[in-house]
Chains A and B, each alone.
Chain A
Amino acid sequence: MNMINIDPRTKIVVIVCLSTLAVFLNTPGLLLLLFAFTLVVLSLLRVNFLGITAKFKKLIPLLLAMLFIQSAFAPGGEVLLSLGGVPVLTAHGINSALCILFRMLTFFASAMIIMTSNSKDYILALVQLKIPYEIAFMVMVAFRFLPVFVEEVKDTLVAIQLRGVDLQKIAWRNKLKFYSHFFTPLLNSVMIKAQQLSITMEARAFRVYRRRTYLRVLRYSRLDYLVMAVFIISTLAVLMLDFIDVLQVAKNSR
Chain B
Amino acid sequence: MGAVTVDRLSFRYQPAAGEVLKNISFTVEKGEIVALLGLSGCGKSTICQCLGGIIPHLLGGEMTGRVLVNGKDTKDHKVAQLALEVGLVFQDPDTQLFLPTVEDEIAFAPENLCLPVEEVAARVNNVLELLGINDLRHANPNNLSGGQKHLVAMGAVLALDPGVLVLDEAMAQLDRDAKRKINDILCDLRRRGKTILIVEHDLETVSIADRVLILENGLLIRDGQASGVLGEREFLIRHKLKFEEEPGMDRWGL
Residues B52 and A203 in contact, CB atoms below 8 Å apart: yes
Of the residues B96, B100, B103, B157, contact of A119 by C-beta under 8 Å: B100
Interface flag for B14 (CB, 8 Å): no
Complex alpha-carbon distance, A146 and B46, angstroms: 30
Q: Which of B15-23, B78-86, B184-192, B242-250 contacts A (4 or more CB under 8 A)?
A: B78-86
Q: Which of A62-70, A156-164, A211-219, A222-230 contacts B (4 or more CB under 8 A)?
A: A211-219
Contact residues of B with A, CB < 8 Å? 52, 54, 58, 78-81, 83-84, 87-88, 90, 92, 95-96, 98-101, 103-104, 107-117, 120-121, 124, 156-157, 160
Residues B100 and A120 in contact, CB atoms below 8 Å apart: yes
A24 to chain B, nearest CB (A): 34
B77 to chain A, nearest CB (A): 10
Interface flag for A175 (CB, 8 Å): no
Residues B160 and A205 in contact, CB atoms below 8 Å apart: yes
Residues A213 and B114 in contact, CB atoms below 8 Å apart: yes
A213 with B98: in contact, given A202-B83, A203-B83, A205-B160 (CB under 8 Å)? Answer: no
Which residues of chain A are within 8 angstroms of B112 by Cβ–Cβ distance? 204-209, 212
Complex alpha-carbon distance, A95 and B83, angstroms: 60
Residues B115 and A200 in contact, CB atoms below 8 Å apart: no
Residues A209 and B114 in contact, CB atoms below 8 Å apart: yes
Residues B79 and A212 in contact, CB atoms below 8 Å apart: no
Which residues of chain A are within 8 angstroms of B115 by Cβ–Cβ distance? 213
A146 to chain B, nearest CB (A): 13
Q: How many A-B residue pairs have CB under 8 A?
A: 94
Residues A141 and B80 in contact, CB atoms below 8 Å apart: no
With a 10 A CB-CB cut-off, give which of A120, A140, A202, A209 has the most chain B CB atoms: A202
Interface flag for A199 (CB, 8 Å): yes
Q: Given known contacts A200-B96, A204-B83, A208-B84, what 20 new A-B pairs fall within 8 Å (CB)?
A: A140-B98, A197-B95, A199-B54, A199-B58, A202-B79, A202-B80, A203-B52, A204-B160, A205-B81, A205-B112, A206-B80, A208-B80, A212-B113, A212-B114, A213-B114, A213-B115, A215-B103, A215-B107, A215-B111, A215-B120
Nearest 6 CB-CB pairs, A to B?
Answer: A118-B100, A208-B80, A196-B95, A205-B83, A205-B112, A204-B109
Which residues of chain B are within 8 angstroms of A119 by Cβ–Cβ distance? 99-100
Sample of 9 A–B contacts (CB below 8 Å): A197-B98, A200-B90, A202-B78, A203-B52, A204-B112, A204-B156, A205-B112, A205-B113, A212-B111
Of the residues A120, A207, A208, contact of B104 by C-beta under 8 Å: A120
B37 to chain A, nearest CB (A): 23
- Closest A residue, CB atoms, query B86: A203
Residues B113 and A120 in contact, CB atoms below 8 Å apart: no
A196 with B108: in contact, given A118-B101, A208-B113, A211-B114 (CB under 8 Å)? Answer: no
- Closest A residue, CB atoms, query B104: A120
Complex alpha-carbon distance, A205 and B87, angstroms: 10
